[in-house]
Structure 1
C-alpha cells in the first residue's frame, strides 16, 4: 500500500486474497508478513504487519479459526556473555533452538522484551504472550493509586509498541500477584479493562496466577486462565507421585468455577547439567525428565478438553541475585546458560514435535538414552 500525501490525488492499492500469518507448526505459510509503506515527500516509513484472527471459546484458543495449542517455554533476556544486554547472535541462536525444540509460543516473562526479539517472533512464527513488568505485587500496599496509575502507564507503553505485532496473541498484565487479597480485585479489574479498551485488535487478556482456585479472586475477569504450578518441587519436594493428583484437583477446581481455557504457563525443576543418579533425585537430569513426564500425563488428559497450552520454566538456565536458595542462578532450563541441551530438552523436543504432527505423545526413553551420559537409567 502506498500513500503519497501533499498532492490533490493519491494512489492506494488493495489486495483481497490475503496470506494469513500462522504460528510455527500450524501451516506451511509460517510468519507471513506484509509491509505497509507510507511516503510523505522525502520521508518513508515502512511497517511490517501480519493478518490473523484470534478468538477464545470456553475450551479453545483459535488462531485463524483453527485450534491453537501452545507448545511453549518461558524465557529471560539473559546469557553468560551479555547478561541482559542485547546480542543479535544470541537472539539468532535462541530462535534456532526454539525451532529445534518445536516451540510455537513464548511468554515474555516478566517484562516486555527488546523490540528486536519481537521482530524475530513475527518473522519466525513464534506466538507471544506479551507480559508487563507487573511482578512482585504481593502486599496490600502494592495496590494503591500510585501503583495503579503507573501500571496503566506501563500497559499503555507496551500496547502502543506491540499492537501491530501479529505474533502477540495475548496480553499478560502481571505475574503471580497476590490475587487472594480483596484489594486486588478492583485494581486488576481496572488494569484488565484498560488493556482491553486500549488494544484495537481486542486480544485476550490475562494474568499469571500462582494462587489456588479456592483463594484467587481475579481469575473470573480474565479471558484465559494462566497458572504456574510447581508440584513436587516447591510443594511436596521430590514426590513425583503427587503431581497428577494435584493437577487434576486444580484443573477441576478452576473449570468448575469458570468455563475458560487453561494454560499452564510455568512448571519446572532445577537441574544441574551432568548430575545423574539412579534412582533419580532432585537436581539430577533424571529427575527433571521424570518430573516433566508426570506433568505430561495429566496434560494429555486435559488437552482433550480445556487445556490449550503448556510452557516449561525455563528455556535456559539464567542468573539470579546471590543468595542461599540459588547455586549460581536458576537451573530450571531445558538448556544450560550457554544454550547446550540437557536430557530434558530431547524429551520436550520429541513431545512437541509429536503433538504438532498428531502422533503418540508417549516419550520413547530408549531414544532419549542416546543423548545422556548416563544412558542405563532410561532402560
Structure 2
C-alpha cells in the first residue's frame, strides 16, 4: 500500500567530528497516510554513489572517511576572514557566477548576508566555492525604543527559527547574525538581544552567534551575550572628512576598548568609502579612486596590528555599487563598491587582491610566510 508522501520534520543535522573525519547525519522523518510502509534512507555523494544508508523513521547515518569542507578546518587551524559584503537582492544565475568568480579572483574567503538571508542558490554556491558565510536575518532598522517589544521579540525568534532551519546544513555557514546596527545602547535592547541570541543558540549550539554593532563600546547592552563582536565603523568618511591620518589611531582605540571590556574576538564587519569610478585627484580627495584606496590602506595597517591577536576578520562594504533611493548623500546610488555595478574593478580592487592572496598564503604556510605562491599560478586566477 502506498502510504503517501514522506515529509521531513526537520532537515538533516550535519555534524563534523574534526579528529576522526567521520560524517554523522541525524534524520527524522514523518509519513502521512498508512502506517504500513517500509522506509529506506540513502545518502548520496556528488557522484550519486551511496555512502551511507539506514532504515526507519529516525536514526543516524555514519559516513567514514569524509573529506572535510575547508571552513571546518578552522577548528583545527585558526583562520582569518577577509572579504567584501555582497548584496543579495534578486537572483540572477549569470550574475551570481560572475560575482563568485570575482571573489576567487580577489582571493576572498567570506561574506555576510547583509542584511537578510540570501537565496538558497547563493548558499549552495558558497558550499561549492568554499566561501564562509555569516548568515544574517532581516533584523535591520531596529533604531527606536518601541521596536524592542514582546511582539517584535516573538517575531524575531520565529525568523531565526526559519533561517536556522533552512541554512543549518550548509557547511559554508559558520556564524549567525541576529541584527544589523540595532540601537543596542538602549536598556530594552539588552534584554531583547539577550533573548534572541539565547534562542538562536538553542536552535544551533554548534555555531557562534553575533549581531553587528555601531554603538559605543561602553554603552552596548547586547555585546555581553555574543560570541564574536562585529563592528561597523567608517572613519574618515562619515566624520573627520579627509583626515586619513586619523584612521590608525581611531581603529586601534576602537579595538582596544572593545577587547578590554569584553575579551572576545572581533570582526571589522564594515568599513569603506564612496568612490566614483574614473574620479582621480592627487592628493586624494573624497569620492576619488585614490581616496578609497588610501582609506583602505590605512585601515589595513590598523587591522594588521591586531589580526594576529584578537581581530579575526575584515569585511569591506561593499563588493559592488548598487542603486538606492535618491538622497543628497548618494551619487546615483551607493558607490562604496570595489567594483562598479557592471562589475568593472576600481583601483582598490587590485589593492585588495594583493592583500587577500598574501593573507591566504600566510594562512596556508603559517611557518613560512616567504613561501608564497605566485598569483599567476593560483588555481583561482
Query: What TM-score bracket applies, with the shorter chain setting the length?
Result: 0.7 to 0.9
- Using the TM superposition, give the Cα deviation of residue 146 of structure 1 relative to its aligned residue in structure 2, in angstroms: 1.2
Alpha-carbon RMSD: 1.9
- Using the TM superposition, give the Cα deviation of residue 321 of structure 1 relative to its aligned residue in structure 2, in angstroms: 1.1
Normalised TM-score (structure 1): 0.80
Q: Alpha-carbon deviations, 1:182-226, whole Å to 9, x = none?
A: 110110000000000011x52000000101212212111100010
- Using the TM superposition, give the Cα deviation of residue 22 of structure 1 relative to its aligned residue in structure 2, in angstroms: 0.3
For residue 21 of structure 1, the aligned residue among 69, 83, 96 is: 69
Structure 2: tracts of 5 or more residues without a match: 1-24, 32-36, 42-52, 55-60, 363-368, 371-381
CA–CA distance in structure 2, aligned partners of residues 64 and 212 of structure 1: 31
Q: Would you say 1:193 and 2:198 are equivalent positions?
A: yes
Q: Structure 1 stretches (4+) deviating beyond 6 angstroms?
A: none
In the other structure, the counterpart of 1:208 is: 212
For residue 139 of structure 1, the aligned residue among 107, 130, 144 is: 144
In the other structure, the counterpart of 1:282 is: 286
Please show how residues 347-362 of structure 1 align to structure 2 within 5 Å: 347-358=351-362, 359=369
For residue 301 of structure 2, the aligned residue among 284, 297, 307 is: 297
CA–CA distance in structure 2, aligned partners of residues 209 and 75 of structure 1: 18
Normalised TM-score (structure 2): 0.80
- Tell me if structure 2 keeps the 8 A contact 1:70–1:310: yes
- Tell me if structure 2 keeps the 8 A contact 1:212–1:250: no
SS at match of 2:291: helix
Q: How many equivalent pairs are there?
A: 315
For residue 333 of structure 1, the aligned residue among 311, 333, 337 is: 337
Q: Which has the larger radius of gyration?
A: 2
SS at match of 1:66: coil
For residue 162 of structure 1, the aligned residue among 141, 162, 167 is: 167
CA–CA distance in structure 1, aligned partners of residues 63 and 218 of structure 2: 51
For residue 236 of structure 1, the aligned residue among 240, 244, 267 is: 240
- Using the TM superposition, give the Cα deviation of residue 9 of structure 1 relative to its aligned residue in structure 2, in angstroms: 8.3
- Using the TM superposition, give the Cα deviation of residue 14 of structure 1 relative to its aligned residue in structure 2, in angstroms: 4.0
Q: Alpha-carbon deviations, 1:260-308, whole Å to 9, x = none?
A: 1100000000000000001110000000000000000011110121110
Q: Would you say 1:75 and 2:89 are equivalent positions?
A: no
SS at match of 1:67: coil
Q: Would you say 1:94 and 2:96 are equivalent positions?
A: no
Cα pair distance change 1:268/1:143, threshold 3 Å: same
- Using the TM superposition, give the Cα deviation of residue 85 of structure 1 relative to its aligned residue in structure 2, in angstroms: 2.5
146-155 vs 291-300, greater mean Cα deviation: 146-155
Cα pair distance change 1:279/1:185, threshold 3 Å: same
- Using the TM superposition, give the Cα deviation of residue 8 of structure 1 relative to its aligned residue in structure 2, in angstroms: 8.6
Structure 1: tracts of 5 or more residues without a match: 24-51, 54-62, 78-83, 361-379
